Amino acid sequence: MGRCFASLIRHPYAGVAVLHMPLAIFDLDNTLLSGDSDYLWGQYLVELGVVDGAAHEAANALFYADYKAGRLDIDAFLAFALRPLRENRPEALLAWRAEFVASRIEPLIGRPAQELVERHRRAGDTLLVITATNAFVTAPIVERFGIPHLIATEPERDARGFTGRVAGIPAFREGKVARLQQWVQEHGSSINGSHFYSDSSNDLPLLERVDTPVAVDPDPLLAEVARSRGWPLISLRDVAC
């Protein structure tokens, strides 16, 4: 079980050195993905019968609506979202996650998002995803994009497994700024010349810190702010011919 458990949140490309190149920072949900992996993971667990269907689905929908409205209680949400990690065996979690990524996430990865990542890769930028969604769910998705660095909300673990609590600062709102500052210090990097791509007004604290903030298929508040400040607005959604 120890070996299986140790692989639960193995971040992609662990140990890759960061060069002193500009950062290309990406939000994940509704930015690189045309959907929300956190919400969809909850729905997937409902479909599997892993959680109490009606109660979990109702709470999941309410938290998601609060997030979109900019009023999410992050502590309450994480207590809810991390409970299934605590209550299930590592082997089962890994199997469910693999099927979730293949069946639910892969269709949400569009060509424009992949091309944007590749443009920054060719430019030699350091690629980084920063997301409030927990690292257990997001690590394989970020690996799928070939992005070597991930800052995510970290589920706490002890010798027995996941505790259902958060380790450190959740990567949400001002927490994204704090976590990025920690990461920059640890890697001897800098946010000078950085880009940050996001869809959400919840990310305004970090968007306001980078040199090039980019609104991606933004929510109404972020779209309004971006237009008023002259920030680029782009879409990463596939358009049918």
What positions carry a catalytic annotation? 27, 29
The long-range contacts involving 48-56, CB below 8 angstroms and separated by at least 24 positions, are 48/96, 50/84, 50/88, 50/96, 51/84
| Four-point Cα dihedral 142, 146, 150, 152, nearest 10 | 0
Q: Per residue, what are the HEC states of 195-210? A: EEEECCHHHHHHHCCC
SS3 125: coil
Please give the Cα distance from 2 to 41 (Å, whole number).
24
3-state class of 131 per DSSP? strand
Which residues share a beta bridge with 150? 129
DSSP 79: H
Cβ proximity of 16 and 149 under 8 Å: yes
* Residue (of 103, 190, 109) closest to 146 by Cα position: 109
Between the two ends of the chain, the Cα-to-Cα distance in Å is 49
For 20: left if phi > 0, alpha if psi spans -120 to 50, otherwise beta; the answer is: beta
